[in-house]
Structure 1
Amino acid sequence: AFPSNPIKHLHNSDIKSSKLISSNRIGSSDAARLRLHCSSQQHGADELQTHRRSGNYSPSRWDFDYIQSLHSDYKEERHRRRASELVMQVKKLIEKETDPTRQLELMDDLQRLGLGDHFQDEFKEILISVYLDNKYYKSNVDNMKKAERDLYSTALAFRLLRQHGFHVAPEVLGCFKNDEGDFEPSLVHDTRGLLQLYEASFLLTQGENTLELAREFASRILQEKLLNDEIDDINLSTWILNSLDIPIHWRIERVNTSVWIEAYKRRADMNPTVLDLAILDTNIVQAQYQEELKQNLQWWRNSGIVEKLPFVRNRLVESYFWSVGIVQPRQHGIGRMALGKSIALITTINDVYDVYGTLEELEQFTDVIRRWDISSIDKLPSYMQLCFLALHNFVNDTAYDVLKEQGFNIIPYLRKSWMDLVEAYLVEAKWYHSGYKPNLEEYLENSWISDSGPAVLAQAFFGVTHSLTEEAVHSLYGHHDLIRSSSMILRLADDLGTSSEWAM
């Protein structure tokens, strides 16, 4: 299932609804939506007589009415106009700056402050210039050593270039190594350079030993400096501490924006225009996120899932938070909201398989999803009918939005995502009910799918891709190594953080 460990301790809100399945979406096709009008009394009686497990999930800490009451003036157009004016002023700052290192520093600051999407054209121009002027496209070690480079600017350029897709050979950093293959001891005095070297080391690819050595060297020296209280600059020491905890390359940009704003305020070289834009932009984006969350919460309440399926985790807010981390650009609001709904449904259906459903019910439910046939839901217990119709309506709504904008029917692909997911859930349910303990190879072969990575990535792909092609979609569903490896990392990270009572 989608990583549960970060949200297990969070609590659910009591959401009640008189409706089982409904939609507050404007423009959704009525023909594509189905409602559950009644359920079999026999099913209800059978469910009462069946022994059910419980996940003992806590209720949500998020109050529906409170979140719906949130209001922000930053939704108003006047703030957007002011932000546009500040963006133009910052663009002029970028144009006036001629020093390459200072250009990269400004670019790095703007990215950390959550402003990068306003200046993509300017960033591209800076990076191309740095890339060509410094011959970073070369991989000849001798050429690298001939150039006079300082660690700070070189490591900063290396990180930003790789982050934006430029091919930069690791030998660029290898020029700071001695004849024995170790990094020069004299580098220990360049604290800022060591920090950039450490951050750059996380953009390595397989087999790049220079970057592995760089991480080991830089992290050891930086930890010693912190331990010995050798750093006078509070901003620098805080940055190092945060970096050693989680490097910038692994962080969710928007979640950390407020932290960087506070740090930027304290800097002697702080630019007031950049600071004003960062604060204003953060408030505008937060207002947008609040509105998206409100709509998702209303959809969740209307679905009736929390009221009718009290055994499942009520994790809509946490699911939306996950979607913000995966789909960060502000312009992808519809895709972000759909992804948040998808994750909430994944959590719900995972609880059906892991906690509540009997093996016979789970086999029937899997068969219904496999068939994707509404007429076959009568054989399901009422709670599963609700789950299937909620899922069916969600898939149709998502596909409707994509078809309306792009003329591309994604229903068959979304169906496959969900079918693959529940098939993997069923395998694990059979293991549990039979008492079978798979070996590591068997477990990993199934669990990289059951962790929901492929399903989540597919949903995100359809939410942010504006020029869908059959070739691209087929590649996505061919489970390219990129998808498989990402999902495997997700699974292993989730398992490492899972409490002992969840272990098989």
Structure 2
Amino acid sequence: MDCSKQLRNPQAEEQQIHQWQTKSELSAYSVHDQSRRSANYKPNIWKYDFLESLNSKFDQGECYLIQMQKLIKDVKKLFVECKESDVIAKLELIDSIRKVGLNNHFEQEIKAALDAIASAELENNSNPCISSEGDLYAAALFFKILRQQGYQVSQDIFGRFMDEMGTLKKSTSGNVKGMIELLEASNLAFEGEDILEKAQAFLIATLRDTNTMWDEIDSSISKHVTCSLELSSQRRVQWFNVKWHIKAYEKNRTNQPYMTTLLELAKLNFNEVQATLQKDLREASKWWYNLGLTKNLDFARDRMVECFMCAVGLAFETDHKSFRKWLTKVINLILIIDDVYDVYGSLEELKHFTRAVERWDVMETEQLPECMKICFQVLYNTTCEIANETEEENGWNQVLPQLCKVWADFCKALLVEAEWYNEAYTPSFEEYLSNGYISSSASLIFTHAFFATKHEEGVDDSLHMNEDLVYNISVILRLLNDLGTSAAEQERGDAASSILCYKREMNVSEEIARKNIKSMIDNAWKKINENCLTRNPKISSSYINITTNIARVGHILYQDGDGFGDQEQGTRALIQSLLVEPLS
């Protein structure tokens, strides 16, 4: 097939798919016989008409943009007005800006401020953050912010607060704000940073035991403790938490004079971004509706809005519109193809489908059911479209071969799992993970993300330099997926998950298997933390943040079960807050 011809005539693409759909309907879908399995996914709750109705006054308000520009200038003045000697005030300002989702508006100011702070603190040891007079809160805030922003800072600054057993000294153990900040800082630890590791274990136990007492004294502190214990800020998608932070700051006004200005700007910014995202969502919904895949692939998950939410999780900024569009399509296809392999296709059909993707040849699908033909056609056309647009927008060459390769690798990994299922084979944990990190789809998303951003290095060099980062993000996504979905998968008799493989190999209970797998996720995060800090300077920090967000989105999706499978219990409230309800 000629990819360029397909791209130049999208109407022909839709017409061809429609013909296949009609043919499928006329055959009464004879492929749906008793041999086909079902995951019994519930119908999609986000209706097309509702998505089309989404509209925000902030999408058209020139006055809001003028007001935002004025507030941005006012906040920039705060960096100048803040005294050079008041390091804590500057750090708190930067922390607040980040929490309410405004850091992309003040990148230069934040960098200049942190360069000055890092120089004074680390070279002269002259400020109270790390000097002997500094308190736990100041040291933890300093460490957290500088390491988040990629500065070299040692865990040794916490040594004076801890005893030999790794517990906080009595003089600092009552500092609740400091303990919360230290817990957040500990989640930025590298492998082998024993001070932070011991501090984290102590803080988790202490804060969990005493949180009910703090709830009686100050409910806002208790909520922050609960939030940090549930999932640290390092593992949360920053944009998904913006509303929570804005409301928390509103309820507990600090004595900082800048907070009123900052919150006003944060609300306007959130609503402006939401208006852009609603427009993007309507476009994605129209694309999905016109494809009509759900009529023919009724065994697969119809989860376009959740796919869009994941794309927002990787890059919410308004200038990443094209990336979100591409990624929404890619994640939709990942779900459908995953269900083709997990639920629908026979082993022989799946081998044919995998061969078609490997050879990138529609002729290989001739012997397949119509719905699988349609699936391949949509994959083919969508990937060609993405490759073409990426080359035009970002100046890349030879994008399509790279995208074809990662799709082929993904399908081959899914085929291995299908073969395990058909053979009733339970692999070793190592064997499972060596295939599962590819079937997680993280490396597939990683490659698409690479072409959506500009780099000095070529794709082969970049992927090689970031091999460890890609692997650890992939492992986290695979293990999080298994923790969230394995119970439902075992009920319907799917292929073995990491939990079952670990249980059988180590001869342990499911509870112990889950606990140890969570420890593996913790260790992978420590490696990611170090990968991000020691990244090649030719790789943009924006790209590193986007790819690390793959793991963060995984935490959100599978924290309370299957975020794709069960919309009501999973992501409905987040989507409602993120994409539907503006801030007043």
TM-score (norm 2): 0.76
Give the Å deviation of 1:319.
0.9
**Partner secondary structure for residue 59 of structure 1:** coil
Where do 1:388-407 residues align within 5 Å?
Answer: 388-407=376-395
Q: Distance in 2 between matches of 1:120 and 1:137?
A: 25
For residues 136 and 207 of structure 1, do their structure 2 counterparts lie closer, same or farther at Cα, with a shift above 3 Å needed?
farther
Q: Who is 2:569 aligned against? A: none
8 A contact 2:394–2:451 mirrored in 1: no
**Matched AA of 1:29:** R
8 A contact 1:52–1:357 mirrored in 2: yes
The reply on whether 1:353 has 2:341 as its aligned counterpart is yes
Q: Who is 1:141 aligned against? A: none
Percent identity of paired positions between Structure 1 and Structure 2: 35
Q: Who is 2:195 aligned against? A: 210
Q: Who is 1:96 aligned against? A: 81
**What CA deviation, in whole Å up to 9, does each residue of 1:318-358 have, x standing for no partner?**
11111111223332121122112111110000100100111
8 A contact 1:361–1:380 mirrored in 2: yes
**What CA deviation, in whole Å up to 9, does each residue of 1:182-230 have, x standing for no partner?**
4322111211111111110000000100101111233333334423237
Q: Distance in 1 between matches of 2:223 and 2:359?
A: 55
Where do 1:218-237 residues align within 5 Å?
Answer: 218-229=203-214, 232-237=217-222
Q: Distance in 1 between matches of 2:415 and 2:193?
A: 40
Give the Å deviation of 1:381.
2.2
8 A contact 1:32–1:393 mirrored in 2: no
Q: Distance in 2 between matches of 1:261 and 1:479?
A: 35
Q: Who is 2:228 aligned against? A: 243
Q: Who is 1:262 aligned against? A: 247
The reply on whether 1:30 has 2:14 as its aligned counterpart is no
Where do 1:138-153 residues align within 5 Å?
Answer: 147-153=132-138
Q: Who is 2:565 aligned against? A: none
**Partner secondary structure for residue 408 of structure 2:** helix
The reply on whether 1:415 has 2:394 as its aligned counterpart is no
8 A contact 1:327–1:460 mirrored in 2: no
| One of 83, 86, 106 as aligned partner of 2:68 | 83
The reply on whether 1:59 has 2:43 as its aligned counterpart is yes
Where do 1:448-463 residues align within 5 Å?
Answer: 448-463=437-452
TM-score (norm 1): 0.87
The reply on whether 1:280 has 2:268 as its aligned counterpart is yes
**Which blocks of at least 5 consecutive residues in structure 2 are unaligned?**
1-5, 491-495, 497-584
* Aligned-residue CA RMSD (Å): 2.6
Q: Distance in 1 between matches of 2:131 and 2:454?
A: 45
Stretch of structure 1 that moved more, 43-52 or 354-363: 43-52
Q: Who is 1:189 aligned against? A: 174
For residues 447 and 181 of structure 1, do their structure 2 counterparts lie closer, same or farther at Cα, with a shift above 3 Å needed?
closer
**Partner secondary structure for residue 310 of structure 1:** coil
Q: Who is 2:157 aligned against? A: 172
Q: Distance in 2 between matches of 1:475 and 1:334?
A: 21
For residues 364 and 388 of structure 1, do their structure 2 counterparts lie closer, same or farther at Cα, with a shift above 3 Å needed?
same
Q: Who is 1:367 aligned against? A: 355
8 A contact 1:137–1:168 mirrored in 2: no
Q: Who is 2:568 aligned against? A: none
Q: Distance in 2 between matches of 1:487 and 1:198?
A: 25
8 A contact 1:43–1:382 mirrored in 2: no
Greater relative contact order: 1 or 2 (C-alpha under 8 angstroms, separation 6 or more)? 1
Give the Å deviation of 1:378.
2.7
8 A contact 1:113–1:260 mirrored in 2: yes
For residues 93 and 150 of structure 1, do their structure 2 counterparts lie closer, same or farther at Cα, with a shift above 3 Å needed?
same
**What CA deviation, in whole Å up to 9, does each residue of 1:372-405 have, x standing for no partner?**
0234333332111111111111111211221112
**Matched AA of 1:336:** R
Give the Å deviation of 1:46.
6.1
The reply on whether 1:493 has 2:477 as its aligned counterpart is no
**Matched AA of 2:388:** Y
The reply on whether 1:119 has 2:119 as its aligned counterpart is no
Equivalent residues, number: 472
Q: Who is 1:443 aligned against? A: 432
For residues 324 and 431 of structure 1, do their structure 2 counterparts lie closer, same or farther at Cα, with a shift above 3 Å needed?
same
Q: Distance in 2 between matches of 1:380 and 1:478?
A: 39
Give the Å deviation of 1:265.
1.2
8 A contact 2:352–2:364 mirrored in 1: no
8 A contact 2:82–2:90 mirrored in 1: yes
Give the Å deviation of 1:33.
7.6
8 A contact 2:79–2:113 mirrored in 1: no
**Matched AA of 1:157:** F
8 A contact 1:177–1:183 mirrored in 2: yes
Give the Å deviation of 1:54.
1.1
| One of 305, 308, 317 as aligned partner of 1:317 | 305
Q: Distance in 2 between matches of 1:31 and 1:259?
A: 42
**Partner secondary structure for residue 485 of structure 2:** coil
**What CA deviation, in whole Å up to 9, does each residue of 1:12-32 have, x standing for no partner?**
xxxxxxxxxxxxxxx953399
For residues 495 and 306 of structure 1, do their structure 2 counterparts lie closer, same or farther at Cα, with a shift above 3 Å needed?
same
The reply on whether 1:133 has 2:120 as its aligned counterpart is yes
Q: Who is 2:489 aligned against? A: 502
8 A contact 1:161–1:168 mirrored in 2: yes
The reply on whether 1:434 has 2:423 as its aligned counterpart is yes
Q: Distance in 1 between matches of 2:82 and 2:219?
A: 27
Give the Å deviation of 1:79.
1.7
